[in-house]
Amino acid sequence: MKIAVVGGGPGGLYFAALMKQLDPAHEVTVWERNAASDTFGFGVVFSDETLGGIGNADTVIADYMSRRFARWSDIDIHFRGEMHTVGGQGFAAMSRKELLELLQRRCIELGVDVRFSTMAPDVEQLSADYDLVLAADGLNSAIRARFADSFKPSLDPRVSKYMWLGTDQVFEAFKFFVKETDAGTMQIHGYPYSDEGSTFIVETHEDVWRAAGFDETEHEVFAPGVSDEKAVAKITAIFADELAGHEVLTNNSKWINFTTVRNQNWRHENIVLLGDAAHTAHFSIGSGTKLAMEDALALAACLHEQGTVEAALEAYETERRPVVESTQRAAQASMEWFENIGQYKDQDPVQFCFNLLTRSRRITYDNLKLRDTGFAQKVDTDFARLSGSPEVAPAMFQPYRIGQLELVNRVVVSPMDMYSAVDGVPGDFHLVHLGSKAMGGAGLVMTEMVCVSDIGRITPGCTGLYNDEQATAWKRITDYVHANSNAKIGAQIGHSGRKGSTRLMWEGIDEPLETGNWEVLSPSAIPYGEGCHVPAEITRAQMDEVREQFVAAARRADAAGFDLLELHAAHGYLLSSFLSPLSNRRTDEYGGSLENRLRYPLEVLDAVRAAWPAHKPVGARISATDWVEGGNTEDDALAIAQAFIDHGIDSIDVSSGQIVRDERPAFGRSYQTPFADKIRNQVAAAAGVAVIAVGAISSYDDVNSILLAGRADLVALGRTHLYNPQWTLQAAAEQDYAGAGASWPLPFKAGRRKPPSARTDAVRPRLSLLKEEQIDEQVHLRWTPAKDASTEDLVPSV
């Protein structure tokens, strides 16, 4: 093959070396506009997984790299005057300059034509003259821009500022310095890369950056290679204690906003994107160099394995895209966590450390426990102290109180519509459904949305609390729950609004009834989506009527024995549709600004709160984002939550979306938890209001991780409890927990020990003289280079 590589960074050079190694007959030419000696940045970090791949692909490069690595396993987190160390992580880093030198040398050894200080020819000419053109031209890829119609790039510049620096202080571990300054929270990401220095990245939200006066040089244009020395001087002063007399080193160091790059397609004819040209992932989760070299390895392998360039490029994208997208999801979560780090400034230091470590959701409590058992035990002990509990136990089994309501644990059965009532009356199905979940160990069991009127139902199968027959049927269920479990039971009440008069879920969710339709109401005469009912705009008189229906339902819920009441102000139902600008286009005092859109839901809340007993808590479920441009955002959700808190709410159940049919949710594991996290740590915790996290949470490990990090106070699971009504008790058995937080009904007690399922569960004889705990020091590896280590240059520069 004849191959053109545009960009002489690590990804382009590594790909060139691999292709020549696979077949010396390949003609590979690399164009790099910078000189061979030019490099920006300091150290680059690799995972053990990536290093294994490099070792398998090219032992020469792997050997070069291994002789230059700084290796360590510890993370030191400095926060609020304390340092906590977590081991068992596994890092390897080296100088970016040395990495480039060894890759340059390897390419020349193998016969690659590397042209430094040379602009590449026009890409269309390259495409005509070469079998393959590799666009490894970085974040600001000119080739990607040239064929934007094919690649369909998405560039997302973020709100935080960062500067890539170095220091002659040699850190022993990965360092997070989180510092509260007069301007706000700033942080340092630091790690060693040799026996002579460390990477030192300063990052802060743009608001803090401006408050600190760093915008003094905002409009200065720095020549390539020139650093922002004024900013560096300020950074040196702010982090003087952390630097401990050491110098800050610069290399083209200036303030940058991180940009997340995504492309719908990575290839155009025989041109393919690699590394930062194709995708970026925030530096807090790993290095772009790592991703680029992994890309190079996969692309070279696919070209070698496939019969045509077209097939190879398709195989490359098919293989790499899921890996990259997974990394980008984790990086997005990590990046957003650091963007919002100021909301955690008052957290307990141990909880903060756990929160930081689990920010991307790739590390969980159980994973951390495998890495560093001692620190995991510290997290458990600290959470028990924060909970006021004398018992150190899994977080999910620590008790919690919503207002004056005591819960034995922090697991909630999420409200789930069952569409199985007749004329709004719950029957035996609901008794078994909710009774089994309560006996299954959850601390709080929530009903489906119980409708406040017949025309407030979603479907003909929805339950209600708009007559006494329904209230009597509900009392049968609450009596059963109270008599047969330690669970509390809450009623979620709501009005379907424009999403009413539809078929049962399994007959066509959100599809209008074929017969028997009833009038549907909404703030404005806008349908939920194409093919849905056009609602009537609710009048002031109807608003009064519906408010009183909520009040009557609340009184019946109290008489029926419910312990908690939750207003459904989410998912596009009536109260939710008042909150969203997508469904509320009113021109009176109930439309327009968010303050106006809140007016009616707050009227209903005030009326319900007055009718509901003061000693019983009232909660609300909200949609934290509409997932559509022009709809409510998570910042609007903060204002909504604060308004509900100001009006006496005791708990906030944080969901999202379902406001309009054409929403585009970012589905994924625990994908709604960041919304709960933001509401809890910015407005709810200070007011003593409980926050409930929901959304694609299915493992007890994730539940514990969310609680231990302080992202929520309670966790609600829906489909998980449909899969296994005894999920909470099973989680207790699998964690070897036996205590007040998991009460087994007496007839079920024989099942509280996990039954053996195979020979692998059998009790094994002891065959070791020493227990593993006696060699736990292996968990903690620090980078402590020998003072007399040879400084001989193993890889001469090109």
Separation between Cα atoms, residue 171 and residue 151, nearest integer Å: 41
Separation between Cα atoms, residue 573 and residue 685, nearest integer Å: 27
Strand order in the sheet with 271-273: 113-116, 27-32, 2-6, 132-135, 271-273, 267-268
Separation between Cα atoms, residue 609 and residue 582, nearest integer Å: 28
- If we measure between CA atoms, which residue out of 690, 601, 683 comes closest to residue 653? 690
Separation between Cα atoms, residue 378 and residue 357, nearest integer Å: 14
Separation between Cα atoms, residue 507 and residue 542, nearest integer Å: 30
Separation between Cα atoms, residue 553 and residue 567, nearest integer Å: 11
Other C-beta atoms within 10 Å of 716: how many? Answer: 28
Q: Residue 484 corresponds to which amino acid?
A: N
- If we measure between CA atoms, which residue out of 616, 615, 450 comes closest to residue 549? 450
Residue 49 corresponds to which tokens in the numbers above? Answer: 């997984």
State the angle between helix axes of 540-559 and 594-611 in degrees (0 to 180), rounded to the nearest 10.
Answer: 40
Separation between Cα atoms, residue 9 and residue 106, nearest integer Å: 13
Q: Which member of 573, 590, 600, 700 is catalytic?
A: 573
State the angle between helix axes of 540-559 and 468-484 in degrees (0 to 180), rounded to the nearest 10.
Answer: 40
Q: What are the residues whose beta carbons fall under 8 Å from the beta carbon of 370, sequence distance 6 or more?
A: 88
Mapping DSSP onto H, E and C, the string for 521-552 reads: EECCCCCCCCCCCCCEECCHHHHHHHHHHHHH
Handedness of CA 725, 728, 731, 737 (dihedral sign): negative
> Could you confirm whether 344 is annotated as catalytic?
no
Render 108-152 in DSSP notation, one character per residue. Answer: HHHT-EEEET-PPPPHHHHHHHSSEEEE---TT-HHHHHTHHHH-
- If we measure between CA atoms, which residue out of 622, 695, 693 comes closest to residue 659? 622
Residue 152 near residue 131, CB atoms below 8 Å: no
Handedness of CA 460, 462, 467, 473 (dihedral sign): positive
- If we measure between CA atoms, which residue out of 416, 377, 418, 371 comes closest to residue 394? 377
Q: Which residues have a catalytic role annotated?
A: 573
